[in-house]
């Protein structure tokens, strides 16, 4: 949804977005593109109509809310404007590192001031695409913004070279959205991304785009089904480029009863066994997979824990702390997270740390706990999946919101 909002802003004309999201992150993206000149109308049929003439800011400050993708994707896009704009955020976003831009944007003729590598950012463009090398190890989200801004700026015969790119599937998703909107980029084995001089550009007029079902949110439902099902989940593209589709592999490895069909996934409980899973390319799966591992007999190992440091919380330590309250031992060894499962979970009062995925993980873990699990700051789910508790209730779980 956030990528679709960005693409609809950059594409000149009318874009009809089907299945638009309404989470806090989605609302932040809508706020950003409105501040950058797009005109939005929610239609009676639930679609979102976006009319844009490119980046034409109507405000001097843009707020990305608490969206990590939003700030990293939209900053290069905002840099296309030839005026000074302040970029800000809220909550944990104000403490997350943004010094990537201090290094990269000046190479693209953009003036930038940051608060010692943190928000707020003060930038002045316009961004001028150039062949540069960027570090892809911290997050692929920075690259997403550069790819989209290069395309919109009409980059020709230039290449973005990337070292140590993490989370390649998220770049696949970005490239797919760009292609759907009419931009073509050559992916040269994820080592460089080339913009040919004769590349096609989006046609003016009206374009329709449908936002995919979200595998990141659905991962929690699927794990809930494996722990306490049987349930059926619809609306997911099993051929999606989304990284978190890999949750299916972990569920299969754990021995969950699962049937994957084109239009639905049926999943239910079975004797669950410990599993080994590499989440380096899909670090957002750590929270649901920890909840799954808690119910698997034996020690499950998840690789990629180093990717968790700069999330809404330091998720490795947060998961260790909160699941410890539920009676689950988690060991952290370098890049590995080891979860001692299968011993039953007890009720406790947990704390989301204002992290949406931690709140959902604790809720799913509580489905088969011996007594009530309470989650403090439970409204953190509104960041990405505001309907989550309602969906758990729909599936028969007892959820009381206070």
Q: What is the pLDDT of residue 299?
A: 98
* Phi, psi for 259 (deg, rounded to 5): -130, 115
Q: What is the pLDDT of residue 137?
A: 87
Q: What is the pLDDT of residue 312?
A: 66
pLDDT tens for the chain, residues 1 to 402: 999 999 999 999 999 999 999 999 999 999 999 999 999 999 999 999 999 999 999 999 999 999 999 999 999 999 999 999 999 999 989 999 899 999 999 999 999 999 999 999 999 999 999 999 999 988 899 999 999 999 999 999 999 999 999 889 999 999 999 999 999 999 999 999 999 988 777 878 899 999 999 999 999 999 999 999 999 999 999 999 999 999 999 999 999 999 999 999 999 999 999 999 999 999 999 999 999 999 999 999 999 999 887 666 789 999 999 999 999 999 999 999 999 999 999 999 999 999 999 999 999 999 999 999 999 999 999 999 999 999 999 999 999 998
Known catalytic residue: 334? no
Q: What is the pLDDT of residue 204?
A: 80
How much is the pTM? Answer: 0.93
Give me the catalytic one of 164, 284, 297, 334: 284
**How many Cα atoms occupy the beta-carbon half-sphere of 103 within 13 Å?**
10
Beta carbons of 227 and 219 less than 8 angstroms apart: no
């Amino acid at each position: 949804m956030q990528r679709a909002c960005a693409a609809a802003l950059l594409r000149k004309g009318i874009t009809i977005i089907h299945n638009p999201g309404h989470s806090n992150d989605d609302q932040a993206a809508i706020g950003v593109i409105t501040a950058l000149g797009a005109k939005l109308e929610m239609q009676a049929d639930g679609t979102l109509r976006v009319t844009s003439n490119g980046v034409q800011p109507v405000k001097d400050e843009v707020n990305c809310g608490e969206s990590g993708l939003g700030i990293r994707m939209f900053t290069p896009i905002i840099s296309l404007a030839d005026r000074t704009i302040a970029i800000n955020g809220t909550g944990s976003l104000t403490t997350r590192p943004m010094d990537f831009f201090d290094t990269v944007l000046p190479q693209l003729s953009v003036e930038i001031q940051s608060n010692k590598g943190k928000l707020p950012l003060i930038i002045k463009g316009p961004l001028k695409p150039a062949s540069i090398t960027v570090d892809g190890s911290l997050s692929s989200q920075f690259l997403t913004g550069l790819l989209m801004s290069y395309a919109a700026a009409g980059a020709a015969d230039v290449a973005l070279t990337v070292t140590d790119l993490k989370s390649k599937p998220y770049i696949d998703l970005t490239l797919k959205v760009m292609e759907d909107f009419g931009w073509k980029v050559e992916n040269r084995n994820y080592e460089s991304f080339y913009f040919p001089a004769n590349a096609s550009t989006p046609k003016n007029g009206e374009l329709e785009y449908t936002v995919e079902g979200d595998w990141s949110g659905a991962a929690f439902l699927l794990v809930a089904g494996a722990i306490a099902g049987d349930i059926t989940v619809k609306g997911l593209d099993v051929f999606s480029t989304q990284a978190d589709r890999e949750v299916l592999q972990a569920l299969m490895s754990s021995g969950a009863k699962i049937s994957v069909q084109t239009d639905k996934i049926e999943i239910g409980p079975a004797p669950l066994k410990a599993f080994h899973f590499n989440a380096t390319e899909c670090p957002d799966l750590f929270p649901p997979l920890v909840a799954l591992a808690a119910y698997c007999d034996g020690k499950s190992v998840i690789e990629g824990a180093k990717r968790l440091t700069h999330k809404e919380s330091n998720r490795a330590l947060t998961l260790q702390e909160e699941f410890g309250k539920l009676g689950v031992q988690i060991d952290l060894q370098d890049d590995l997270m080891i979860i001692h499962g299968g011993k039953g979970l007890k009720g406790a009062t947990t704390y989301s740390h204002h992290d949406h995925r931690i709140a959902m993980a604790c809720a799913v873990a509580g489905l088969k706990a011996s007594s009530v699990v309470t989650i403090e700051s439970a409204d953190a789910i509104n960041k990405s999946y505001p309907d989550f508790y309602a969906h758990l209730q729909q599936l028969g779980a007892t959820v009381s919101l206070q």
